[in-house]
Structure 1
Amino acid sequence: MSSTNLADFRDQYIARASTLLKSADLAQANINTLVINGALFGALDKVINAPLIGRDTLALFDAMTSADIDVWLTDASHRSVWQRLCSDEAKTIQVALQDDVLRPKLLGSALAWEDIMASSVMQTWIQTKAAYLVPYIAAIPGCLTLTVASRTTMDKFASVQAAMTLIYASTNWLNAVAANTPAQDAIGASLTALRELAKSSVAMTALYTKLTTIMAYLFADATASLDAWNFVSSEITAGRTAMPTAFFADAGIRNALHGNTGISTAMTTTATALYQWLFTNKMTVVQRNYNATTAQQGAGIGGKFLTLAIAGTYNSTAGNFYLISTTTQYTATPNGSTSLTLTTANKQVGSQNGAMYFTDVSTGTFYMSIGYLAI
């Protein structure tokens, strides 16, 4: 049969030439037959080892679909040549990926795209063209799945602000990222990606359930965390509490919040709705009775915390009462004439690894309520 492309020619030639050479009786051959078979053997070797695609032959894919390319690449020799092309002739592939005809064929071939992503030369180029490739990859489900599952490739995308802006605006990309841990890890490792995420309400809404892989990283960064915190506050103001509930149920996020001075300021000044929601829904109250003494006494929280409120009443004959945490000392006058009030006015952010305690120079009793968000 006639060949329809170079691959068909190669396979047919190898089969025919091999048959002829195997049937030759060299012991009985004359000099002409020996020369002819020797030439045929040399030609067969060249055909077997000749690259089937290159600068002049990449057009072979023009006549193929993505499925045809996948089938073609299942041939080990074809695959080897393609892989070498991705590394040694990468500019040829780069041109093809910017061609409106060849690009969808290559992106739609799982084997072709896997080898492109496996090439360090192509990875460098992908980073320079990340924003360009984002919409095309999003349009092909198989290619999108392969891409977000590749940590190396996603690291390249995550370092490009324009690419992440497009990714966060794409439902297809967000769904794929939400289903792939490597993509989430790449975002978490890139301040560029985190800060773009915090600016996007669409992306925040889509990805906030991926707490341990993305959000803890986000709240650990001062710049990204403030944008994210404002978004969480706006959710509460709007009466939507699913997101903040998920946030404060996650130990990683709570730990990231602690020590973030920007969040501390927002907690105690601007984020009234968020703070009130915490005060109402997440506060843990500990109540204790103590005998007044000059020694430090108290109930240890034993870890980091956000103090939401403190209330106290007491009965003593002299001296002042002091309730002391790492960052704040609360003072009350004797005989219960002044009491700390359980309101959001007493809020503070601090760290308490030992006991909170009080001290008094007199005798008597003290009743205390501490409201706090434990971290």
Structure 2
Amino acid sequence: MSAAAQREARRTEALDSFRVRGMPHRRFEHWRYSDLRAVLDAGQVAQAGTAKWNIEHLPEGVELFDLSVQDAPEWVMKTLGHVGNRRTMVEASLAFSEGGVALRVPKGKHIAEPIKLEIGGQGNLRWLIVLEQGASATVFEPHAHDAGYLRNVGVEITLAEGAELQHVRCAPLAPRSFTVELMALELAKHAKYYGHFANFGSRLSRTEAHIVLGGEGAEAHLSGVAVLGHEAHSDVTTHIEHAAGKTLSTQLFKHVAGGKSRAVYQGKITVRDGASGSDSRQTARALLMSPRAEADLKPELIIFNDDVKCAHGATVGDLDPESLFYLRSRGIPEKDARRLLINAFLEEAVDVIGNDTLKETIWHDIEAALPRAMEAAK
């Protein structure tokens, strides 16, 4: 079968599966806080078109393939649509998108310059990144404000033995849009993934990552911030599977919710039988800046092995009144004092970003979003 025929067969299979499964909704536990069926139907997803992607400058040593072209190389064909478990919206992004991008970093290649992959427009989209043995790279994924009615992105990432990827995703406020991005990652022996997700909300915003630590010594480190105001919604859902021994995962997510916004974090850790020596820690914290704001934090552990270290925690509250009083007693206006304390609260989750330029970019977006989060509910 030709590459084009294989691709068409895969899209047909995805389309059939999407039709059978239907839209995700709150009766599915992992979609409990983001009822997509209540606001969209399958026909709207199918007719949304194809979103846009852009890479202005491709660093030397990175191979790129445009998924709108029919004859894909072998490394694309054997990977696209095969990483992770397909879910409803992932099926949709594969079935209905007419384009996307695939990136490959060859064996042993170290890419110092960040790969800036801009996502814009309305519709479905796929992107894929393959890091071969010992390769390393940084991907910065900024999303444009113009999400239109729906933006549904499916992402596949595969890291070979000893590969290392830093991935920073930034989604700005899109108050009239439904934005969904589902990521599937597979990590081989001693591979490392560092993911940071900065979300500023939409009518319904869903960022989901399913990561399989498939090789001994593999590591996944997730962090993120959500700064929400008005009626913005942000849902970050993660599932990390420790499938091999001596694997490590950490998660740290901070949320600031004001107005009538809703911040959601669902983090699930599964330690499979035989994954001895696995170590997992997940933390989620939220500040509620308004009596009508909401935070739903749900860490979860499923362990099938005794020789592991796993911990999780979640807290929701307001700013510390004693700290606020101390700053105000030193002559700092209340609004400025609150802003200082919020920045201090978020700092831990932002400082883990390894690239200083990208860290400054995220801080800039946080500063722009804070006035919305600090407004009273109307």
TM-score, L = length of structure 1: 0.25
Q: Which structure has more strand as a fraction of its residues?
A: 2
Bigger Rg over Cα:
1
Q: Which structure has more helix as a fraction of its residues?
A: 1
TM-score, L = length of structure 2: 0.25
